[in-house]
Amino acid sequence: MRQPIVCATMAEAVADVPDDITLLVPGFGPGMPFNLLTALFEQGAKGLTTVSNGVGGAPATDGRKGVGDFVAAGRVKKVIAAFTAPTHPSQGSVVVDMVRAGTLEAELVPQGTLAERVRAGGAGIPAFYTPASVGTLLAEGKEHREFDGETYVMERAIFAEYAFVRAWKADTAGNLVFRMAARNFNPVFAMGAEHVIVEVEQPIVPAGEIPPDQVHTPGIYIERLVQIPPDGYFTSGRMPATSAAPERGSR
Amino acid sequence: MTAAQRRLTRELIAATIARRLEHGWLVNLGVGMPTLVSSYVHPEQDLTFTSENGVIGYAGLAHDGEMDQDIVNAGVQPVTLHPGAAIVHHADSFALVRRGMNDVTVLGAYEVATDGSFANWRTSREPFDQLGGIGGAMDLAARCKQVWIAMDHTTREGSPRLLERCTLPVTAPKGVTLVVTDVAVIAVRDGRFVLEEHAPGFTAEEIQSMTGAPLEVSQTLREIQI
């Protein structure tokens, strides 16, 4: 069977990721590929178009990099997200400042539409109609169409050059299993890009060890796998260490 | 001498909403005050809570010692799961929303108008510059059977948030059926606000003076149970 490349380090996994790509970044609290993003930050990639739920807040104190760090470093050309500004205006935002200054492009997308645009892209569907955003500023200028007496807006699919994915378990065939709500956008984004690189929490097991009917994302979509090292970012970074889940190795 | 006025805390607003959820409903809770609701329901209500991130069947906020960083609600707060819970990916999570499976979504808002429109994603009235925080609100508002809003009755400066017409860009042009604030429970029905419950010590006249549209007073107006 076709096998993905198992990389020894995060740096190796992202070494040849080019500039000016569209990059899918899953995560909703948990499930963010922080290790790959941190390696890419060090690699220097720029001119990125990112697709993610939000664009992050203040820089993390533990050195991990998120989409917001790439934006702040001027290495993002455009953000496509369901949150391009903080929910409260009193919270400052580098994205807001840069968009107003004209140094960053933004595209605000309803969260369900965002997920569906990438799913459609990964499913070979170029566009679809959704009721979300009809009658709002977001639907202005988009094609509208009536079906069965209700108005819908057309949304285009997204298919990216790269996706970074965060999995709980993987086998050497690239089959992935996600844990709890760390799944979120991960399986959708894993199908929505030409090149998919996966950081894995648990030790990568031999092909065959994950039962076929328990695979969330089949390995045929996966180009590279890399084990998160013991000193890597295992938590979502959103919760105090004392209340974090038990050690990953114990589950 | 009137009875002492008592505004509802965030927790009391959540508890007031929780009491109104009907038996067996499938309920989506948005970020902020709404995510508190799942901590105030009774098991006999037999409710199922869904979250934008694909968690179906979660319970209240997790306490220290039972927190799992991978089990979170729409506000990325750790929650616990009921037996029988299931987790799907983000596209499927919104598939069930768009199909119209949720009986209600409870969301926060800046403004609500008598036509059932509401605004909760952008605080600027300037021309649209692609900046804002929508999250899943537009998807939810488009298809949940009802939209309930939890918010403060007025802005910090005392301006009304319940209006004849939203002044901020709307999240959806219709859909709100109930608003629970720190001083009132108001139904939105046939293009009108109907005052159904008041916070302790607040008269209908006082609540009207804090509201930017005419309030019809329900014949069964009662004090919010605290």
Flag if B133 and A82 touch (Cβ within 8 Å): yes
Using the 8-state DSSP alphabet, how is residue A245 labeled? P
Does A90 touch chain B if contact means CB atoms closer than 8 Å? no
**Nearest neighbour of A183 by CB, restricted to B87, B135, B142:** B87
Q: Could you give phi then psi for residue A87, rounded to 5 degrees?
A: -70, -25
Hey, what CATH topology would domain A5-227 get?
Answer: Glutaconate Coenzyme A-transferase (3.40.1080)
Contact B147, B118 (CB under 8 A): yes
Nearest to B186 by CA among B20, B32, B1: B20
Confidence (pLDDT) at A239: 56
Question: What percent of chain B is modeled with pLDDT above 70?
Answer: 99
Mark yes or no for CB contact B139/A184 under 8 Å: no
DSSP A191: T
Give the minimum alpha-carbon distance from A95 to chain B in angstroms, rounded to a whole number: 9
Choose among A37, A235, A210, A139: nearest CA to B173. Answer: A139
Interface predicted TM-score (ipTM) of this complex, two decimals: 0.96
φ, ψ for residue B58, nearest 5 deg? -90, 160
pLDDT number for residue A243: 41
Distance from CA of B177 to the nearest CA of A (A): 18
Residue-by-residue DSSP string for B43-98: GGG--EEE-TTSEEEEEEEPPTTS--TT-B-TTS-BEEEEEEEEE--HHHHHHHHH
User: Residue A218 has what pLDDT?
Assistant: 98
How far is Cα A183 from Cα B91, in angstroms, rounded to an integer? 11
Please tell me the predicted confidence (pLDDT) of residue A2: 78
> What is the 8-class DSSP label of residue B201?
T
Nearest to A110 among B78, B93, B138 (CB): B138
**Mean pLDDT, 10 residues at a time, over chain A (251 residues)?**
93 98 97 98 98 89 94 97 82 87 97 98 98 98 98 98 98 98 98 98 97 98 97 75 40 33
Residue linked to tokens 């496509």: A80
Instruction: Please give the angle made by the CA atoms of B105, B109 and B28, to the nearest 5 degrees.
Output: 15
Cβ count within 10 A of residue B35 = 26
The pLDDT score that the predictor gives to residue A105 is 98
Question: Of B11, B108, B103, B94, nearest to B48 (Cα)?
Answer: B103
CB atoms within 10 A of CB B10: 13
- 3-class secondary-structure state, position A169: strand
Q: Would you state the structure tokens that stand for residue A183, as one six-digit string?
A: 């799944």
pLDDT value at position A238?
Answer: 59
- Residue A40 and residue A12: Cα distance in Å, rounded? 10
> What's the token pair of residue A142?
């988009």
Specify whether B66 is catalytic. no
Cβ separation A106–B88 shorter than 8 A: no
| pLDDT at res. B3 | 75
- Among residues B11, B22, B44, B52, the one annotated as catalytic is B52
Q: Which of B88, B133, B143 sits opposite A83 (nearest CB)?
A: B133
Give the integer Cα–Cα distance in Å for B215 and B32: 26
Q: A185: which chain B residues are within 8 Å (Cβ-Cβ)?
A: 89-90
B1 pLDDT more than 50:
no
**Structural domain boundaries in chain B:** 10-223
Q: Quick one: closest CA in A to B95, which residue?
A: A112
| pLDDT band, residue B2 (cuts 50/70/90) | low
Round to whole Å and give the CA distance between A231 and A229: 5
Give mean pLDDT, residues B88-94: 98
pLDDT of residue A237: 66
Is pLDDT at B76 greater than 50 in this prediction? Answer: yes
Contacts of A215 (CB under 8 A, 6+ apart): A175, A176, A177
Q: Which residues touch A87 (CB under 8 Å, ≥6 apart)? A: B31, B133
CB pair distance less than 8 Å for B78 and A243? yes
Sequence ranges of the domains in chain A: 5-227
Regarding the domain delimited by B10-223, which CATH topology (the fold level of the hierarchy) does it fall under?
Answer: Glutaconate Coenzyme A-transferase (3.40.1080)
Neighbours of A35 (CB within 10 A): 26
- The yes-or-no verdict on residue B39 having pLDDT over 60 is yes
Structure tokens at A87: 């929910």
Check: CB of residue A94 under 8 Å from CB of residue A54: no
DSSP A80-116: EESBSS-SSTTS--HHHHHHHHTS-EEEE--HHHHHH
